[in-house]
Amino acid sequence: MKYRALVFDFDGTIADTLGETRKIFNELAPEYGIRQVEEHEVSELRHLSLKEILSKLKIPSRRVPSIIARGTKMMRNNIDRLQLINGMKETLTELRENTDSFGILTSNTTANVDVFLQNHGIRDLFDFVSSTSKLTGKSRHLRAIRKTFSLEHSEIIYIGDELRDVKAAQKAKIPHAAVSWGFNSRESLAKAKPTYLFDHPTELFQIRD
């Protein structure tokens, strides 16, 4: 394996949570005085950065932590019905065989992730699940993970579906694999210049070479 440690995002990368996330957001929107997101708008939002999305939906940044906290708590109630990204279970299982460290870094809660992984029989694949409540706080956690496992910058890779995942890895000065099957569009991810850009879970095998 080219990389000693593989760290994955959760929502949109491993778990198919896009529909559930929009549903929860729309349930919370009236309480926060913000508008709901119609299904036809999702394709447009997929091209935008986090800052652009907050601006377009007129969501004050000060409200974001509360929305995330409420949203992840609500997701716990429906975690049993969420599905893995098609093909991800087999891919993760094979990748794990030749990797020293396997983990998850997410903005979701560790409790939600643990339950989901247990439900799908893959919790034992992962050495750790780390969570950050800040949407822009992943770079610090990636640096901490690298130091915890005594890794060089080139020995760890972060795999995620959002522009903020690419930016976090770049800020932490580590390689990144962007995946187009989650939230952000392939076009927007390509413009961010990730180390890799994949369109199907089986393409992740390319990081072994």
pLDDT digits (tens, 9 = 90+) for 15-35: 999 999 999 999 999 999 999
User: Helix, strand, coil proportions of the chain in percent (round to 5)?
Assistant: 50, 15, 35
- Pairwise pLDDT comparison (44 vs 133), residue with the higher score: 44
pLDDT at position 134 over 80: no
- How many angstroms separate the CA atoms of 66 and 73, rounded? 11
Higher pLDDT, 161 or 134: 161
* Positions of E strands within 31-100: 83-84
3-state DSSP assignment of residue 5: strand
Q: How far apart, in Å, do the first and last CA atoms of the chain sit?
A: 7
DSSP state of 6: E
pLDDT band at 5 (very low <50, low <70, confident <90, very high): very high
Predicted confidence (pLDDT) per residue in 59-75, tens digit: 998 898 899 889 999 99
